[in-house]
């Protein structure tokens, strides 16, 4: 039988485009700021995770430059062989203090945290209980385990209680509850205080992926600080690539947890360590969040104003509680058209979010606030969104 090994690719790609589920990849030609250049066009960016604008903060940039001049461009090895600089030690100590925990570790990415750490925490005699709308990287991390898997309805602690009872009756050796802190597609917040109470009752471990909460909630310290749960959440996974504006995954928790990850997580052990300039930038970013609270305040001022205005226009913003503000359209084709016309006619750069990121009937534009935006920027964006929204009969 003669086979065409790549024939399926064209068919799959055609199906993606025919269903309006394709991603439009645009290219930045300047820095990640609200005013940038994308595909040769001057635009206002409303779709970056760089919430506080720290990617271009002078202190963060200078720290990267200075460290690169001193240490070079690359780490040269995985962390446990020869890739760990004194800068890494400095960052990990600083970040643990910032998080108000015993220890922390800098991993390669937030995705690597979930795919590398989750499989080491639970095995075949254990149960993992996961929120229905958890990030894909959590889902992949859970799939790599041999634990029994249970799912509770999104942010529904009553259903979590039902799943915990089932896990407890099964005689599980360990129970792991895992949730996003801030859900990246809807911008809502996990009820971590209630989750923590349930976990304590059943002796379960709690793992929160706080990638979109760090730099945003709890005066920048994240969802655990937001709920004042320091010491009660066992694993805080996070990312330096969003609110902190740099790059890299993090885990914060007990000394035992961090030492265990150092010795067991394969994504950490088998991936080259971060370039020293990047680690220095991470140190500087944490320092800025600690000492310049005006960035977090401005982010929330923008969030409250923008969300109120789009809601009054008639847009459905779902259950957003954070600077992630979805404009839920429904039809994926219409969501794609909204993003296209905002870019081509109004010079507003937003990203349509379609299946498999969200359910097809919940296709949307995801708007994200940024501390570097001005009131004029917000009003210009609001005017453009209203014009195109009416043109497409969305509002």
Average pLDDT rounded to a whole number, residues 349-360:
89
* Same domain for 282 and 191: yes
* pLDDT at position 24: 84
3-class DSSP state of 328: strand
How many whole angstroms separate alpha carbon 68 and alpha carbon 72? 5
Provide the edge-to-edge strand list for the sheet that holds 205-209: 103-107, 249-253, 235-239, 205-209, 175-180, 127-131, 148-152
pLDDT tens, 7-20? 999 999 999 999 88
* Same domain for 189 and 121: yes
pLDDT tens, 164-203? 999 999 999 999 999 999 999 999 999 999 999 999 999 9
Q: Which two tokens stand for residue 149?
A: 């898997």
Out of 275, 291, 307, a domain closes at 291
How many whole angstroms separate alpha carbon 207 and alpha carbon 121? 10
Average pLDDT rounded to a whole number, residues 320-348:
96
Residue 11 burial by Cβ neighbours in a 10 Å radius (0-12, 13-18, 19+): exposed
Q: How confident is the model at residue 2 (pLDDT cuts 50, 70, 90)?
A: confident
In a domain, 8, yes or no: no
Average pLDDT rounded to a whole number, residues 263-283:
97
* pLDDT at position 189: 98
In terms of residue numbers, what domain contains 207?
58-291
pLDDT tens, 39-65? 999 999 999 999 999 999 999 999 999
Identified catalytic residue from 99, 212, 226, 337: 212
Identified catalytic residue from 64, 104, 130, 184: 184
Out of 222, 256, 291, a domain closes at 291
Average pLDDT rounded to a whole number, residues 343-349:
97
Q: Which of 18-22, 24-28, 118-122, 355-359 tops mean pLDDT?
A: 118-122
Q: Using N-to-C axis directions, what is the helix angle for 157-169 and 192-202, rounded to 10°?
A: 20
Q: Would you call 69 a catalytic residue per the annotation?
A: no
Q: Which two tokens stand for residue 308?
A: 């109120």
* Same domain for 350 and 236: no
In a domain, 12, yes or no: no
Average pLDDT rounded to a whole number, residues 72-91:
96
Q: Would you call 184 a catalytic residue per the annotation?
A: yes
For residue 37, the domain's CATH number is 3.90.1150.10
Mean pLDDT of the chain: 96
* pLDDT at position 166: 96
* Same domain for 143 and 90: yes
Asked whether the predicted pLDDT for residue 135 surpasses 90, the reply is: yes
Q: How far is CA 262 from CA 166, 269, 276, in A?
A: 32, 7, 19
* pLDDT at position 261: 98
Q: What share of the chain is helix, strand, coil (3-state, %, to 5)?
A: 45, 15, 35
For residue 239, the domain's CATH number is 3.40.640.10
* pLDDT at position 201: 95
* Same domain for 299 and 283: no
pLDDT tens, 371-393? 999 999 999 999 999 999 999 99
* pLDDT at position 357: 83
How many whole angstroms separate alpha carbon 127 and alpha carbon 149? 6
In a domain, 257, yes or no: yes
* Same domain for 73 and 36: no
Q: What is the pTM of this model?
A: 0.95
* Same domain for 252 and 182: yes
How many whole angstroms separate alpha carbon 272 and alpha carbon 173? 34
- Alpha-carbon 77 to chain mean position: 27
Instruction: Give me the phi and psi of 175, to 5 degrees please.
Output: -120, 130
* pLDDT at position 20: 83
Average pLDDT rounded to a whole number, residues 76-89:
95
Element (H, E) at 114: helix 110-121
* pLDDT at position 298: 98
Asked whether the predicted pLDDT for residue 221 surpasses 90, the reply is: yes
Identified catalytic residue from 242, 274, 295, 337: 242
Number of domains in the chain: 2
* pLDDT at position 1: 81
* Same domain for 245 and 115: yes
In a domain, 305, yes or no: yes
Lowest mean pLDDT among 74-83, 254-263, 350-359: 350-359
In a domain, 368, yes or no: yes
Out of 273, 291, 309, a domain closes at 291
* pLDDT at position 355: 84
* Same domain for 161 and 70: yes
Q: Which two tokens stand for residue 207?
A: 């793992």
In a domain, 19, yes or no: no
* pLDDT at position 21: 82
In a domain, 194, yes or no: yes
Q: Which residues are bridge partners to 106 per DSSP? A: 250
Lowest mean pLDDT among 86-95, 119-128, 354-363: 354-363
* Same domain for 193 and 52: no
In a domain, 18, yes or no: no
How many whole angstroms separate alpha carbon 78 and alpha carbon 74? 11
How many whole angstroms separate alpha carbon 311 and alpha carbon 324? 14
* Same domain for 113 and 140: yes
Q: Which residues are bridge partners to 207 per DSSP? A: 178, 235
* Same domain for 247 and 135: yes
Q: What one-character DSSP code corresponds to residue 100?
A: T
Q: Which of 14-23, 86-95, 331-340 tops mean pLDDT?
A: 86-95
- Tokens 């205005």 appear where? 309
């Amino acid at each position: 039988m003669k086979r065409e090994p790549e024939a399926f690719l064209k068919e799959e790609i055609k199906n993606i485009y025919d269903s309006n589920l394709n991603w439009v990849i645009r290219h930045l030609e300047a820095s990640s700021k609200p005013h940038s250049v994308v595909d040769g066009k001057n635009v206002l960016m409303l779709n970056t995770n760089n919430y506080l604008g720290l990617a271009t903060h002078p202190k963060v940039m200078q720290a990267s430059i200075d460290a690169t001049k001193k240490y070079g461009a690359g780490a040269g090895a995985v962390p446990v062989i020869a890739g760990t600089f004194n800068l890494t030690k400095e960052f990990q100590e600083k970040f643990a203090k910032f998080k108000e925990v015993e220890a922390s570790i800098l991993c390669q990415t937030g995705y690597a945290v979930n795919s590398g750490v989750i499989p080491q925490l639970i095995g075949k005699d254990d149960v993992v209980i996961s929120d229905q709308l958890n990030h894909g990287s959590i889902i992949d991390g859970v799939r790599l385990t041999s634990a029994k898997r249970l799912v509770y309805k999104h942010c529904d602690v009553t259903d979590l209680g039902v799943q915990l009872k089932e896990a407890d009756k099964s005689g599980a050796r360990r129970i792991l509850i895992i949730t996003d802190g801030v859900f990246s597609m809807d911008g809502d917040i996990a009820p971590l205080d209630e989750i923590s109470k349930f976990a304590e009752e059943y002796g379960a471990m709690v793992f929160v992926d706080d990638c979109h909460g760090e730099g945003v909630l709890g005066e920048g310290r994240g969802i655990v600080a937001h709920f004042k749960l320091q010491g009660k959440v066992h694993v805080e996974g996070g990312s330096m690539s969003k609110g902190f504006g740099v790059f890299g995954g993090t885990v914060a928790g007990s000394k035992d947890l961090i030492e265990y990850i150092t010795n067991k997580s394969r994504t950490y052990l088998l991936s080259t360590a971060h370039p020293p300039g990047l680690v220095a930038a991470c140190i500087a970013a944490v320092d800025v969040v600690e000492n310049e609270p005006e960035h977090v305040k401005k982010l929330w001022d923008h969030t409250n104003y923008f969300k109120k205005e789009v809601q009054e226009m008639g847009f459905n913003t779902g259950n957003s509680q954070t600077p992630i503000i979805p404009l839920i359209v429904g039809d994926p084709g219409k969501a794609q058209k909204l993003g296209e016309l905002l870019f081509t006619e109004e010079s507003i750069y937003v990203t349509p979010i379609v299946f498999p990121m969200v359910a097809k009937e919940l296709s949307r534009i995801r708007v994200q606030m940024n501390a570097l935006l001005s009131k004029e920027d917000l009003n210009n964006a609001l005017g453009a969104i209203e014009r195109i929204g009416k043109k497409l009969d969305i509002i």
